[in-house]
Amino acid sequence: MKLTDSTKGWIVWAALDSSMRGMSLSAGSSPLHSPKITPHTSPAPRRRSHTPNPANYMVPSSASTSVNNPVSQTPSSGQVIQKETVGGTTYFYTDTTPAPLTGMVFPNYHIYPPTAPHVAYMQPKANAPSFFMADELRQELINRHLITMAQIDQADMPAVPTEVDSYHSLFPLEPLPPPNRIQKSSNFGYITSCYKAVNSKDDLPYCLRRIHGFRLVNTKCMVLVDMWKKIQHSNIVTLREVFTTKAFAEPSLVFAYDFHAGGETMMSRHFNDPNADAYFTKRKWGQHDGPLPRQHAGLLPESLIWAYIVQLSSALRTIHTAGLACRVMDPTKILITGKTRLRVNCVGVFDVLTFDNSQNNNPLALMAQYQQADLISLGKVVLALACNSLAGIQRENLQKAMELVTINYSSDLKNLILYLLTDQNRMRSVNDIMPMIGARFYTQLDAAQMRNDVIEEDLAKEVQNGRLFRLLAKLGTINERPEFQKDPTWSETGDRYLLKLFRDHLFHQVTEAGAPWIDLSHIISCLNKLDAGVPEKISLISRDEKSVLVVTYSDLKRCFENTFQELIAAANGQL
């Protein structure tokens, strides 16, 4: 049988025990469809004895010729002259189809590949079946979807407007400030709030950072905003637009960023333990210091710190190359998604809030100074991570913090921190720390590629789910339909009756004892044979066991497609 595009590469998901890979896909011999009759073709998929045409997969070299073709082949042209007689007339034509490769057998309706070895030996094997994506990844994705779809009860939060500019469905991502709050943000100098919202122009979720009570008096700062909008980087939350609004009952400035569901700040991930500052807290007279923190015992592992350094320095390098400055290199403005993925958030906010008339002629005049400040801020973030405490970056604790780094971490990490925090007589660049990172960059690259391999393997387990679901959905619209075109017996006659019996063959089989027989491999294998239309025969038995119909999957596919097209035509008013 020659494979068509619809029959290539069926990658089937099946909840089988991982120990059964490479063996029969059935859990055992087929049970009885009824207490008396056994369907001899169900459900164990068998390897086809014939070879499909591999020309659909690859083109043979010019040296490859068909050994079974009785017609001679011209060596110079590499083409086969075919002969066919129709109605007494003989026709000669040139067959340009590539000749099949001999000695190769391909499955014609399904493929059950095991896990790739480079992934299988990458992590400890679980006892659970591995035909579906890992539970950890599935739960992480579900949590992201849940956060993305979250909404508020407008009656409980009347202060949140239903619509802001072109955004709607606002959902607070952090506690809203009290209405009469006077205390301002320690970062921006203004009261701020953050929302998830959906843009009505593209129906995509975004993160809105609102600056309370800010009036934009100079629009020339939008030159910098346009520069920020052009930056696309894997470790930077992209700025999409900036606009003013009065939807919050007061003038407000709103920054719209890409929304990364499930992200948390570095502050909440690593610096929310009140006991972490105990090492730097001043002791009373006569009170001894506590135990010295160590790696994996109060301090972060050095490999994690270097992973953060690589990502943050990569973000700074892109920003500085574009002629801008980050100015928000702070644990409260660094987002962490997943385990170690970092993104610098709130970029461009300071460029708008601190823009004054003196910069009218050259908005980039102070960028070199701000870039130097970015390097110092990066050094403070790295030192805080090494000490696992924000108290370590305070001026009075710097010496004690560096002693802690010297004892627990490598000299490369210590030298990097000293370089970033020490004033230099020349202009520094983020590229200067690349030699200090050294080969650790390759370690992070290797880890990222290994993570990509794992995710691709999980994707391969689920790649066919949508196709099988569509097949079941179509089958469900046909089976047991009460009436169609004023015919109450429509679903019980003609092609529909075959599909009804096929549905029973899929889901309603029983064992010899009359108990329901549940085997997901049987369901998956039969659905893929139906979708491919293979010539394998199948016995369909009526519920009263008085009729046995022997049909092929290709016949069932034809009945299935014709019936569904009939429903579509009626739904579109074409009947």
Q: Which residues are annotated as a binding site for ATP?
A: 209, 258-265, 332-333
Nearest 5°: phi and psi at 162?
A: -75, -25
User: Are the C-beta atoms of 77 and 27 separated by less than 8 Å?
Assistant: no
Cα 213 from Cα 407, distance rounded (Å): 48
Residues making up the annotated binding site are 209, 258-265, 332-333
Record the tokens describing residue 194, joined without a space: 């953050």
Helix (H) / strand (E) containing 497: helix 494-507
Farthest-apart Cα atoms in the chain, separation: 115
Cα 256 from Cα 200, distance rounded (Å): 13
- List helix spans (H) across 168-322: 222-229, 266-270, 302-321
Name the residue with tokens 């590539």.
98
Q: Quote the Cα angle for 274-278-283, to 5°.
A: 135
Helix pair angle (367-387, 302-321), 10° resolution: 170
Closest CA to 137 of 395, 339, 435: 339
Return the number of other C-beta atoms located less than 10 Å from residue 196's C-beta: 22
Q: How far is CA 186 from the centre of its chain?
A: 35
Q: What is the CA radius of gyration of the chain?
A: 33
Closest CA to 26 of 50, 48, 49, 46: 46
Position 267: which residue type?
M
Position 230: which residue type?
K
The 3-state secondary structure of 340-352 reads: CEEEECCCCHHHH
Residues in the chain: 575
Helix pair angle (553-571, 465-478), 10° resolution: 70
Nearest 5°: phi and psi at 61?
A: -70, 170
